[in-house]
C-alpha cells in the first residue's frame, strides 16, 4: 500500500492534520489503535482565553480563536454534528485574594473578563462566599463526537489502519519510509508524522524533546439541578456534557506510576463537590489519562532536522483543542506549499538536541 503521508495517531491533532491534508487533496493513511484512555478521549474540550492565578491571556488566543471557531463549525457541518459551542465560565472566587486579583484585571482584560451585577443567580446550586466573575468567550469542543465521527469517515474511505504502531516495523530511507504492521500489511509513504500523544516521548527520533508528561483525572457526575448554560469554576472546573452530566477535574500529577484512576482523587473530589454544591449529584464515571505536555508550553510542530521525512505534531498539553486546528493547518501548508511554521512552535528550535 502506498501513500504520501502516514499519520500515526487519531487524537485531536491527528484528526485535524488528516482533515487539512484531505482538503489539500494529499493522499494519506492514519494508523491508530483507538485507545480509550488517550488524552483526547478523556479531556473536557474546554477552550479558555485566560489562564492561571494571575489571569493572563492564553498564548496566541486572539489568533487561535479567529481560526478555530470557524474551523470547528465547518468540521461539524461536514460530520453532521455540533462540533463547538460557546459556554462562558462563571468563576466563583475561592479566596478573597482571588477575588481581588480578578477585579484588578477587569480593566486590562475587558475583552474577556466581566463582573455580573447580579451576584445571587447561583445561590440555590452553589456555595460561594466571595462573589464571581465571568470569562467570555469560552468554548466547548465536542470531542466525544468529533473523534469517532471523523474515524468513521476515515474507515469508510479506507484511510485508517486500526493497528498498534510499532517503531520496530519502521524503515527510514532518504526520501521515503516503509512500515510493516507485523502481519502482512506494508505501507510505503513519502513522509511519516507522529500525532500519537505521550508515545512520542519515547520515540527514538523525538525522545530528546522536552516532554513533561503529567497525569490528569476527572469525574463524570450527574446533577439534574445545575443549569448547563455555563461552565463553572471554583478550584476545579465543572463542565456540562449534556443530559445532566458534568465533567469535573482535573488535577496535575507530575509523579505517577500508571494511567489508572486513583481512589484518593475520587475521594478528594467528592468531598470538594459536597462542599461546593448545594444540590444532589451522583458520580457515574471516573477517568484518567496522561497528557503530552512539555516544559516550554509550546507545541512541537515540524520535521526532524536530520530525517527530513519524519515529522511531529504534538506536545500541546491541556491546550490541544485550541492549538491543534491552527498548527495542523500550518503543518499541512508546509507540506503542500512549503510555507514556514511559526518559529515558536517549529521543532527546528531544538535542532541541536535532535541532531545528537
Say how far apart CA 196 and CA 173 lie, in whole Å.
Answer: 22
The answer on pLDDT for 90 being more than 80 is yes
Query: For residue 117, what are the CA distances in angstroms to 226, 267, 289?
Result: 21, 35, 39
Q: Residue 43's pLDDT is what? A: 85
The answer on pLDDT for 220 being more than 90 is yes
The answer on pLDDT for 183 being more than 80 is no
Q: Residue 55's pLDDT is what? A: 83
Say how far apart CA 137 and CA 49 lie, in whole Å.
Answer: 7
Q: Read off the pTM.
A: 0.94
CATH for the 89-136+214-291 domain, from 3.30.9.10, 1.20.1250.20, 3.40.50.300, 3.40.50.620: 3.30.9.10
Write the pLDDT tens digit of every residue in 292-302: 999 989 999 99
Mean pLDDT of 148-171: 94
Q: Residue 82's pLDDT is what? A: 97
Given a contact cutoff of 8 angstroms between Cβ atoms, the answer to whether 298 and 60 are in contact is no
Say how far apart CA 198 and CA 9 lie, in whole Å.
Answer: 11
Least confident among 74-78, 164-168, 338-342: 164-168
CATH for the 2-43+144-211+295-354 domain, from 3.50.50.60, 3.30.70.360, 3.40.30.10, 3.20.110.10: 3.50.50.60
Cell numbers given for 255:
509523579
Q: Residue 269's pLDDT is what? A: 95
DSSP output for 286-305: EEEEEE--BTTSS-EEEE-S
In the structure, what pLDDT confidence band is assigned to residue 197 with cuts at 50, 70 and 90? very high
Given a contact cutoff of 8 angstroms between Cβ atoms, the answer to whether 119 and 151 are in contact is no
Whats the size of the chain, residue-wise?
356
Angle among Cα 207, 205, 254 to the nearest 5 degrees reads: 15
Q: Give me the residue spans of the domains in the chain.
A: 2-43+144-211+295-354, 89-136+214-291
Write the pLDDT tens digit of every residue in 227-277: 999 999 998 999 999 999 999 987 778 888 888 999 999 999 999 999 999
Closest CA to 138 of 322, 288, 272, 349: 322
The answer on pLDDT for 333 being more than 90 is yes
The answer on pLDDT for 52 being more than 90 is no
Given a contact cutoff of 8 angstroms between Cβ atoms, the answer to whether 303 and 311 are in contact is yes
Q: How many CA atoms lie within 13 A of 91 on its CB side?
A: 25
The answer on pLDDT for 317 being more than 90 is no
Between the ranges 52-66, 239-253, 322-336, where is the mean pLDDT highest?
Answer: 322-336
The answer on pLDDT for 182 being more than 80 is no
Given a contact cutoff of 8 angstroms between Cβ atoms, the answer to whether 192 and 221 are in contact is no
The answer on pLDDT for 40 being more than 90 is no
Mean pLDDT of 32-37: 83
Amino acid at each position: 500500500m502506498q501513500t504520501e503521508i502516514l499519520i500515526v495517531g487519531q487524537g485531536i491533532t491527528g484528526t485535524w492534520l488528516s482533515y487539512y491534508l484531505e482538503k489539500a487533496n494529499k493522499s494519506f493513511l492514519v494508523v491508530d489503535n483507538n485507545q480509550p484512555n488517550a488524552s483526547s478521549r478523556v479531556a473536557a474540550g474546554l477552550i479558555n482565553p485566560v489562564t492561571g492565578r494571575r489571569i493572563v491571556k492564553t498564548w496566541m488566543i486572539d489568533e487561535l480563536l479567529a481560526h478555530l471557531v470557524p474551523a470547528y463549525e465547518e468540521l461539524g457541518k461536514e460530520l453532521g454534528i455540533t462540533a463547538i459551542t460557546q459556554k462562558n465560565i462563571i468563576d466563583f472566587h475561592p479566596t478573597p485574594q482571588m477575588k481581588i486579583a480578578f477585579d484588578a484585571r477587569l480593566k486590562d482584560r475587558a475583552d474577556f473578563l466581566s463582573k455580573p451585577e447580579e451576584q445571587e443567580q447561583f445561590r440555590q446550586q452553589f456555595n460561594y462566599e466571595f462573589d464571581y466573575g465571568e470569562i467570555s468567550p469560552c468554548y466547548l469542543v465536542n470531542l466525544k463526537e468529533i473523534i469517532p465521527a471523523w474515524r468513521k469517515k476515515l474507515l469508510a474511505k479506507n484511510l485508517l489502519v486500526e493497528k498498534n504502531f510499532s517503531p520496530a516495523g519502521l524503515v527510514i530511507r532518504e526520501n521515503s519510509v516503509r512500515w510493516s504492521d507485523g502481519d502482512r500489511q506494508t505501507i510505503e509513504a513519502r513522509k511519516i508524522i507522529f500525532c500519537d500523544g505521550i508515545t512520542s516521548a519515547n520515540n527514538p527520533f523525538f525522545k530528546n524533546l522536552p516532554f513533561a508528561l503529567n497525569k490528569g483525572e476527572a469525574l463524570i457526575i450527574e446533577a439534574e439541578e445545575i443549569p448547563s448554560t455555563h461552565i463553572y469554576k471554583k478550584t476545579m472546573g465543572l463542565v456540562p456534557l449534556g443530559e445532566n452530566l458534568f465533567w469535573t477535574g482535573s488535577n496535575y500529577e507530575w509523579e505517577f506510576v500508571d494511567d489508572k484512576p486513583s481512589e484518593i482523587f475520587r475521594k478528594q473530589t467528592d468531598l470538594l463537590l459536597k462542599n461546593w454544591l448545594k444540590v444532589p449529584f451522583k458520580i457515574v464515571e471516573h477517568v484518567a489519562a496522561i497528557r503530552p505536555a512539555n516544559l516550554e508550553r509550546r507545541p512541537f510542530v515540524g520535521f526532524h532536522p536530520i530525517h527530513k521525512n519524519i515529522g511531529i505534531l504534538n506536545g500541546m498539553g491541556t491546550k490541544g483543542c485550541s492549538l491543534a486546528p491552527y498548527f495542523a493547518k500550518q503543518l499541512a501548508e508546509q507540506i503542500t506549499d512549503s510555507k514556514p511554521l511559526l518559529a515558536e512552535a517549529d521543532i527546528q528550535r531544538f535542532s541541536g538536541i535532535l541532531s545528537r
